[in-house]
Amino acid sequence: MKELESLVENLKIKFNEENSEKKKEQDQVRKLEQTLEKEREEFRETIKTVPLRTRRSLQTAARPALQSSISLTFLPLRPSRAVENRSKYREAPPDQSQSHYGNIMYDRRVVRGNTYAQRILPTTTQAELAEMQKQQEQRRKAVAQRKAREQIRVRTPEALQGRQHTEVQTELYLEELSNIVMENDVQCQTDAFLDKPDTPLFIPAKSGVDATTQIEDGELFDFDREVQSVLEVLVGKVMEQSLLEVMEEEELACLRAQQRAFEERRDVQLTEVQKLQEQERRHTEEKKRRIAQQNEVLKKEKEIAEKIAARAYTQQYLANLVPSIFTSLRCHGFFVNTVQTDVETNFMPWLMNEISSSLDKRYDARSVLDDIIKERRPARERKTCCKLSRGTEAAKKILFLISKD
Amino acid sequence: MAFTLAFPGRAPVAYGRRAVPQLFEELQKPEPEDKMRALNSLCDLLHDPEHLYQTVRSGLLETLNPLLRDPDSTVRTRTCDLLRQVAAHSIGCRALLLPSLVASLSLLLDDPHSGCRVAVHRILNLLALLPSGADVLLSLVPKLMLRLTDTLLETNEEDGAEELGSKETAQEEGSKETTLEEGSKEEDEVEENDKGVEERKGKDGNEEIRDEEGETEQGFEESKEENEELEEDENQEEIKRDKGQKEGEKEQGDKQVNIKQEQQEQEEEEMVLLLSTLTRCSYLDPLPALASDGVKLLRDKLAHSSAHVRREAAAAMLALSIPMEGKQQLCDLGVLSDLIPLLQDQDTEVRANAAGVCAFTFVVTTGKVQGVELGLIPILLDIVSLEELSTDSLVSVGRVNKDLLQRRKTLLLYCLRALSVVSDYPAARRLLLEERPLLERRTDTDPELRQATQSVLKAISWSPL
């Protein structure tokens, strides 16, 4: 009994240990799960408050200013620069004059691995800060509520002194509880594909009663007799159609022939017509030419008559012309006989002058003679003077003779 | 399935009203084979006027416009065949005169594929038969004249290439030369081509009626004989070749010759259609054709190896010689001298057209003078005297000989008219007075011919006094 009790106690202790270990593990797991849940809730809450676009951008780390729901391009806020190496432990900050650039792949700050189960730091802004605080308060409340619930929750009371709680299976058959699952790997491989064989023709099973019938020659109809009417119709139609067509063609040919004959006659008549036209044209042209000729002749005759009349008139008009011209010219002194003029102008006046002078002389002589006579024989001699004067002619002669001498 | 077996290369046709619209919808598919099938079915359908009305009334012809610019040449050719079916009907013809379609067709005139070009020319030919169509095509006349020059260059090149051709072709041509009357190589090949053209006409029912009539002459009989001789010669040639040379070479030679022949046939047909279109347009308004050097270009065609081309060229020249400017140009370019060989041609239609050109050209004084100088009057008199005998002899029944008579009558009429026109010129009158008994001896049953003879006699015996 005591041994049993001691065994039982040992077992209990072991169980307790195991249980405690398990509890610890479970607690750890639970804690981890709780933290995960918390984070998830936080993330979900933050995400829910943020609009869709920014959610996506948060998810894809796009620049908040250039947000298009479709594009996922990353545009840096600042110009890119190489990342400096940061040591594991803190150093005095102003010590470094030269910056060491390290390999970004081995930088502790670079997040590696899948990102869907990571903590995602939401971008904090003023508006969101308030939200953040609210969320934190909510979280605290939730935690507090959970704790409260946990406390209220009834658990199994603690074991009495000297006792241990063990977990025991109470079913009929004990089961080994373990997380390790018995696994068996079994493989199976099909054979290489063979061609599907042809499906056999489905011939349904015979059912019903067989019955036969056969139509012997001559039972249904007599082909030659029946076909005759059909043939007649066919051949008749064909013949009729062809006759119609041939007749049509014949008719057309007749029409064409008639048309041609007409056209030829027309052409022949046309020659006649054209010949007559030409003849007419020639005749009219000839007539025109002759009339024109005749007109010409008449015109010429008329012209000639006019010419003759004109000539006669001018002749008559100009008959007096020449003498009158001559006379006028002569009047104007154009036809000058120089000798004559000379004689007339010079000689004759001179002659006249001479004559007049000689006559004057004679007159003077006579008068002188008269005077003389008068002086010498005044009374009787006056008579004799008269006689003398009557006898002047003789005196003249004497004088003339005197003067001549 | 039965449909595709029965009609390979045809799209299935819906019933009734849906037939045409559904086929047009199928034409919108990008695959050229689908389009070909739909086009083949449409070609069959549009023979029926009801379907044609439906097509035209619902304005589905516009949708054919992009098909005309399709990169695949067979699609283009088939679309042109389809449009040709449409154009054979008056409603379709009028519907085709949309400017967009005409523009697309005019673009196709420059198509590199010759079959397509031939098809387009067929359409234009049918369009030109309608006065409003000819009106629309007047704007295209300069372009058609350009085509005339292009094909002229091409035929020259082809002739040159053929002359440099293989031994077989030279032998072939050599044997033909010895047996046939005409001497030139080109004539012989052309006779083959004529035969080929005839064969094609036999197959294709909707060919130009004019082409058929063109062969129904004295020349027709002669060419038939020549073709038979040709066939015999070809057989002999082939036998010789089998003996003398390897079969492979012969086959190649045949193929080359066949290809060249086909090309030549197509070129010739294109030329014939082009010229007939030009003729019809020029009847309506000759000025555009005259403005684009029509006379000069046509003169080059007058000496073409093929009788069809010559006939059409002469007809076009006739149309151009009706207005005064045309006559002037003809006289200036001395086309009358080119007409002399045509007046002695085998083909009656060629002669008739040439005589017509003479008749129209003689209206102008310079034409008369040239006619007398070149000795055209004796030629015309010969024709008149020769034809006299045969007019009354052919009294047999049948459309073929009615056409023959008509051709002869036209020829005689033109010759007589030409003589009456030229007898305004005193020199010509003197010549003709000597031949007066010949004309008085004529006994024609046809009143028109009698009247023509009377007018000639009256013209001859006119004197200023």
B333 vs A: CB within 8 A: no
Do A268 and B205 make contact, defined as CB atoms within 8 angstroms? Answer: no
A-chain residue closest to B456, CA distance? A272
Return mean pLDDT, chain B: 76
Q: What is the pLDDT of residue B205?
A: 37
The answer to whether residue B136 sits within a structural domain is no
B43 vs A: CB within 8 A: no
A188 three-class SS: coil
Do A264 and B359 make contact, defined as CB atoms within 8 angstroms? Answer: no
Q: Can you tell me the distance from the alpha carbon of A213 to that of A206, in angstroms, rounded to the nearest whole number? A: 19
A-chain residue closest to B47, CA distance? A245
**Which tokens hold the place of A24?**
């610890």
B425 vs A: CB within 8 A: no
Contact B331, B365 (CB under 8 A): no
CB-closest option in A249, A253, A271 to B417: A271
Q: How far is CA A135 from CA A43, A52, A126, in A?
A: 10, 19, 14
Residue numbers in B near A260 (CB within 8 A): 210, 406
Do B424 and A275 make contact, defined as CB atoms within 8 angstroms? Answer: yes
Residue numbers in B near A273 (CB within 8 A): none
Short-list B385, B358, B381, B396, CA closest to B460: B381
How far is the alpha carbon of B410 from chain A, nearest alpha carbon, in Å?
Answer: 7
Q: What is the pLDDT of residue B190?
A: 40
Residue numbers in A near B363 (CB within 8 A): 271, 274-275, 277-278
Angle at B192 between CA B189 and CA B194, to 5 degrees: 110
A-chain residue closest to B89, CA distance? A252
How far is the alpha carbon of B209 from chain A, nearest alpha carbon, in Å?
Answer: 6
Residue numbers in B near A268 (CB within 8 A): 356, 359, 410, 413-414, 417, 452
How far is the alpha carbon of B201 from chain A, nearest alpha carbon, in Å?
Answer: 13
Query: Consecutive sets of 10 residues in chain B, 465 residues long: mean pLDDT of each?
Result: 78 86 87 88 87 87 85 89 87 84 85 86 88 86 81 56 42 40 39 40 38 38 40 46 52 76 86 89 87 86 87 90 89 88 87 90 88 87 74 55 83 88 87 85 81 87 79
Give alpha helix (H) positions in A50-125.
52-60
Contact A389, A374 (CB under 8 A): no
The answer to whether residue B85 sits within a structural domain is yes
Q: Does B387 or A258 have the greater pLDDT score?
A: A258
A185: pLDDT confidence band, cut at 50, 70 and 90? very high
A-chain residue closest to B361, CA distance? A271
Q: What is the pLDDT of residue B399?
A: 59
How far is the alpha carbon of A254 from chain B, nearest alpha carbon, in Å?
Answer: 9
B-chain residue closest to A251, CA distance? B209
The answer to whether residue B261 sits within a structural domain is no
CB-closest option in A245, A252, A274 to B363: A274
Return mean pLDDT, chain A: 80
A405 three-class SS: coil
pLDDT, one tens digit per residue, over B244-291 is 445 555 666 677 878 888 888 888 888 888 888 888 888 888 888 888
Do A268 and B418 make contact, defined as CB atoms within 8 angstroms? Answer: no
Do B406 and A257 make contact, defined as CB atoms within 8 angstroms? Answer: yes
pLDDT, one tens digit per residue, over B329-339 is 888 888 888 88
* Chain B (186-205) residues lying within 8 Å, Cβ to Cβ, of chain A: 205
Do B206 and A267 make contact, defined as CB atoms within 8 angstroms? Answer: no
Short-list B182, B172, B322, B155, CA closest to B236: B172
A257 vs B: CB within 8 A: yes
Q: What is the pLDDT of residue A275?
A: 86
A137: pLDDT confidence band, cut at 50, 70 and 90? very high
Do A275 and B363 make contact, defined as CB atoms within 8 angstroms? Answer: yes
Q: Does A120 or B328 have the greater pLDDT score?
A: B328
Length of chain A: 405
The answer to whether residue B347 sits within a structural domain is yes
How far is the alpha carbon of A289 from chain B, nearest alpha carbon, in Å?
Answer: 17
Q: What is the pLDDT of residue A361?
A: 86
A289 vs B: CB within 8 A: no
Q: What is the pLDDT of residue A140?
A: 94
B123 lies in which domain range? 16-127
Q: What contacts 24+ positions apart, CB below 8 Å, involve A126-133? A: A128/A46, A128/A49, A128/A50, A131/A46, A131/A49, A132/A46
The answer to whether residue B447 sits within a structural domain is yes
How far is the alpha carbon of B16 from chain A, nearest alpha carbon, in Å?
Answer: 17
Q: What is the pLDDT of residue B223?
A: 39
A267 vs B: CB within 8 A: yes
Of B73, B92, B127, which residue constitutes the final position of a domain? B127
Q: What is the pLDDT of residue A235?
A: 94
Residue numbers in B near A238 (CB within 8 A): none
The answer to whether residue B138 sits within a structural domain is no
Furthest C-alpha separation in chain B: 89
Residue numbers in A near B212 (CB within 8 A): 253
B-chain residue closest to A246, CA distance? B205
Euclidean distance between the first and the last CA atom of chain A, given in angstroms as a whole number: 254
CB-closest option in A257, A261, A272 to B417: A272
Q: What is the pLDDT of residue B221?
A: 39
Do B406 and A261 make contact, defined as CB atoms within 8 angstroms? Answer: yes
Do B318 and A267 make contact, defined as CB atoms within 8 angstroms? Answer: yes
Residue numbers in A near B367 (CB within 8 A): none
pLDDT, one tens digit per residue, over A273-332 is 888 888 899 889 999 999 999 999 999 999 999 999 999 999 998 888 888 888 888 888
Do A274 and B322 make contact, defined as CB atoms within 8 angstroms? Answer: yes
CB-closest option in A253, A257, A274 to B360: A274
Do B406 and A282 make contact, defined as CB atoms within 8 angstroms? Answer: no
Of B97, B127, B157, which residue constitutes the final position of a domain? B127
Q: How far is CA A162 from CA A1, A4, A12, A165, in A?
A: 17, 16, 11, 10
Contact B241, B168 (CB under 8 A): yes
A-chain residue closest to B318, CA distance? A267
How far is the alpha carbon of B153 from chain A, nearest alpha carbon, in Å?
Answer: 32
A233: pLDDT confidence band, cut at 50, 70 and 90? very high
A-chain residue closest to B368, CA distance? A275
pTM, full prediction: 0.54
The answer to whether residue B363 sits within a structural domain is yes
A386: pLDDT confidence band, cut at 50, 70 and 90? low
The answer to whether residue B189 sits within a structural domain is no
Contact B108, B252 (CB under 8 A): no
Those residues with Cβ within 8 angstroms of residue B111's Cβ, 6 or more apart along the chain or in another chain: B73, B76, B117, B120
DSSP A84: B
Residue numbers in A near B406 (CB within 8 A): 257, 260-261, 264
What DSSP line would sit under A292-343, residue for residue? HHHHHHHHHHHHHHHHHHHHHHHHHHHHTHHHHHHHHHHHHT-S--HHHHII
pLDDT, one tens digit per residue, over B294-314 is 888 888 888 888 888 899 999
Angle at B344 between CA B343 and CA B346, to 5 degrees: 110
pLDDT, one tens digit per residue, over A334-375 is 777 778 878 788 888 888 888 888 888 888 888 988 888 888
A270 vs B: CB within 8 A: yes
Of B127, B157, B188, which residue constitutes the final position of a domain? B127
Q: What is the pLDDT of residue A58?
A: 54
Contact A399, A362 (CB under 8 A): yes
A31 three-class SS: helix
Contact A82, A101 (CB under 8 A): yes
For B180, other C-beta atoms within 10 Å of its C-beta total 16
Mutation choice for A interface testing from B209, B380, B400, B405 by most A CBs within 10 A = B209
Do B424 and A278 make contact, defined as CB atoms within 8 angstroms? Answer: yes
Q: What are phi and psi of A379, to 5 degrees?
A: -85, -65
Q: What is the pLDDT of residue B27?
A: 87
A275 vs B: CB within 8 A: yes
Do B209 and A252 make contact, defined as CB atoms within 8 angstroms? Answer: yes
Q: Taking residues A241-255, what's their average pLDDT?
A: 90
Q: What is the pLDDT of residue B431?
A: 86
Residue A84, strand partner residues:
A101
The total number of structural domains that make up chain B: 2
How far is the alpha carbon of B95 from chain A, nearest alpha carbon, in Å?
Answer: 20
pLDDT at residue A395 greater than cutoff 80: no
pLDDT at residue A243 greater than cutoff 90: yes
**Which tokens hold the place of B207?**
């060919």
CB-closest option in A245, A272, A279 to B424: A279
Can you give the CATH number for the domain in which B103 is found?
Answer: 1.25.10.10
Contact A385, A377 (CB under 8 A): yes
